[in-house]
Amino acid sequence: MDKKDNYLFYSLIAIGIVLRFISPFEIPFTHDEFSALFRTYYDNFSDLIAKGVIETDVHPAGVQVFIHYYVMLFGRSELIVKLPFIFFGIGTLILVYIIGKKWFNPFTGLLAVAYCASIQYTIIFSQMARPYISGLFFALAMVYYWDKIVFKPEDKFFKHSALFVLFSAICAYNHHFSLLFAAIVGLTGLFFINKKFYVKYLISGAMIFVLYIPHLSIFFHQLNIGGVGNWLPKPTYNFFLEYVMYIFHFSYFALIPALFISLLSFINPLKEKFFRNKYWIIAVLWFLTPLTIGFLYSYYVNPVIQYSGLLFSFPFFFLVIFGNIKNYNFPIKFITLITIVGINIFTLVVNRNHYQVFYNSFFKDALVQNDKNYREFGNQEYTGIIESFEDITNHYLKTLNLDSTFTWYSNFPNKKAFLEFVRDSGKGNLSFSFLHGSAHTMVPGIMEYYPQVLERRDYDGGTSYFFAKNKLVNKSIRNDIIISNDFENTLNSGFGQALENLTDIVSYSGKQSFFMASEQEWGPTLEIALDSVIFGQYDCFDVSFRLYQNYIKQGLLVVQLKSEDTLIYWGASEVNEFPVTNNWSKVYHSIKFSDIDTKGLKNIKLSAFIWNKYQNEFFIDDFQVHIREGNPIIYGLHKKIKNELF
């Protein structure tokens, strides 16, 4: 290694270490890490495999077994558990450089290390005790020895073959996608190895299979389960572009230098035999094949593809785009690398807000805030409601000695029971902390009784609201009415209604309401073009009306989104899901816009109407559509964050 390249390499390693060890005692456990930890309390190995892997997991047993025995020896604190994986992350940087330098040249290796050291993709998985960065480390170690036995088989074949077999088997026990990558690597060798060593190479492959035999029953059991399709959506063709943008922090500021350098690599006049470079072809195959297989399986069979599972072949992406760059002199290398690392760190901290978003755990902070609120306001003036996981909650209540006076969201059998509890609580303040699922639909109902939003705390994967009946401070949380009909006028923009349906028999506000006869199946309809409305990607649409409950027992508020003639969303709320106060109820339906795939769609229109499905007679009033400001970082660790600068 050239001495100056040596300085650059060790500087990049130092940067990678610093970025992974910033505030190390503040790095929280994720949900998946908690899941693994809670499956380490078994008394024997048989129970660990049967109950800790087969019954409850979709990953191979390797990392779960490692964590089980590791925490027995070293403890369960966050940093202690994560430490081996942080070291795996640092080790991958070394292996990336070794492979990049050997296959191409030192500058290619340095460029790959610069990115792997400073992007969120590799940093965050180095900070998680899950089978991702470990799989990348062992995959690269496998490739290192694969290269030796395939292209220099005459040099210590048995030693290198034994290590290749070992690391391949570890990949198989680590993760199904690292198993897939190991299989791809092994098959690739059949096309390149010297025929004299063909049989020995096949024996090496057979030895890997023999080592994996004890795990076959687990593999086939998990294969029959099919994956994580019960919560992971089927990917769209936008997945590939989104993956690339995720790598570069969803930032053109970070993407442009990589595009420029890759352009230099592709037009390098010294590479006349560009497509004959076996290592470049191998890198292309190794990066694209797992990505393609994962996408096709997820699209046509069962969704399994995630960024985490693609990590094992990810460094070869940089070897593809930088593989044919010239080995420039030191000043050019230095300026290029410091520019890349500087931009990546800036976008990591400012655009992606990594250390704030990742380190601020919903599971922990929701309980800390509840404890603070309870101590400040007391049981007479404060109600806390939390949706979370009971075992994680109990962990933090115990380790942080927090007050456990709150109500579990899961205690309520339905929306009506929840809203009746909120209505009848009779206290001045209420907090509601919830996960990223459907609980957000309760917010408009809470605001019926606690109209003041004093604070909203946003997290990746969750949100907390603090409400008050009376306004205490000026806090601006957007909740705008974009269209409303109080039925005081004959016609309102966006609504279809007839003059004869207006009545002054009863009304919620003003003097009139809208009467629907039993023979009328469809009530007033709202239709509004979304391109005429200013709203954010993570905002929510709340459609509501007031219903006079003396007359109706069943009916539906229907909300749908259409792009021209294509229906992209349909949802409905039953009118009897909502509590009645003084004969009136507020019926509403909420849409979290970020959960709807609208990419590439044009002329999207929102329609809302009342479906008198059961032929009742009833009165309605105050038909409205609100835009409610949503959580901009609800998926902040994996998707673009609202208002990123570059």
List, for residues 467-488, the tens digit of each pLDDT value. Answer: 998 765 555 577 777 777 888 8
- Domain extent at residue 347: 3-132+212-359
**Per-residue pLDDT at 268:** 64
d(CA 644, CA 640): 8
What integer pLDDT is reported at residue 494 of this predicted model? 44
409 shares its domain with 440:
yes
pTM exceeds 0.85 for this model: yes
Asked if residues 633 and 458 have their Cβ atoms less than 8 Å apart, the reply is: yes
Find out whether 368 and 402 touch, Cβ atoms under 8 Å.
Answer: yes
Distance CA 558, CA 543 (A): 9
**Whole-number pLDDT of residue 524:** 85
Residues 379 and 237 in one domain: no
Q: How many CA atoms does the CB half-sphere of 173 hold within 13 Å? A: 22
Q: Using DSSP, state whether 607 is helix, strand or coil.
A: strand
Query: For residue 397, which of 388, 196, 556 has the smallest C-alpha distance?
Result: 388
Residue 187 counted as domain residue? no
Do 233 and 347 belong together in one domain?
yes
Q: At what angle do helices 133-151 and 176-189 cross, to 10 degrees?
A: 10
Same domain for 392 and 345: no
Do residues 72 and 105 make contact, with C-beta atoms less than 8 angstroms apart? no
- The answer to whether residues 297 and 263 belong to one domain is yes
Do 220 and 100 lie in a common domain?
yes
Residue 346 within a domain: yes
The CA distances from residue 364 to 80, 352, 392, in Å, are 18, 21, 9
The total number of structural domains in the chain stands at: 3
Task: Please tell me the total number of residues recorded for the chain in this structure.
Answer: 646
| Separation between Cα atoms, residue 163 and residue 133, nearest integer Å | 19
- Please name the helix (run of DSSP H) or strand (run of DSSP E) that holds residue 87, with its range, or none: helix 78-103
Same domain for 47 and 14, yes or no, is yes
Amino acid at 22: I
> What's the confidence (pLDDT) of residue 526?
84
Is 591 inside any structural domain? yes
Alpha carbons 548 and 622: distance in angstroms, whole number: 11
Residue 135 CB neighbour total at 10 angstroms: 31
- Same domain flag for 505 and 373: no
Contact 60, 29 (CB under 8 A): no
Whether the Cβ atoms of residue 107 and residue 326 lie closer than 8 Å to each other: yes
Same domain, 123 and 105: yes
Class of residue 464 by CB neighbours under 10 A (exposed 0-12, middle 13-18, buried 19+): buried
**Nearest-10 Cα torsion for 307, 290, 213, 202:** -150
User: 455 with 483, same domain?
Assistant: no
Residue 470 confidence (pLDDT)? 79
CA dist., res. 433 & res. 431, Å (int): 7
Residue 82 lies in a domain: yes
Domain containing 559 — which CATH number? 2.60.120.260
Q: Is the same domain home to 546 and 558?
A: yes
Which domain-ending residue is among 468, 493, 509? 468
Res 643: pLDDT = 59
Domain end point (choices 401, 434, 468): 468
Asked if residue 142 is part of any domain, the answer here is no
Residues 66 and 108 in one domain: yes
Q: For residue 97, what pLDDT is reported?
A: 98
| Residues of the chain predicted below pLDDT 70 | 1, 226-231, 268-276, 471-476, 490-499, 550-553, 643-646
> Is 350 buried (19+), middle (13-18) or exposed (0-12) by CB count in 10 A?
middle
**pLDDT score recorded for residue 552:** 66
Look at residue 115 and tell me if it is in a domain: yes
Domain assignment present for 605: yes
- Single residue among 359, 374, 399 that ends a domain in this structure: 359
| Inside any domain, residue 321 | yes
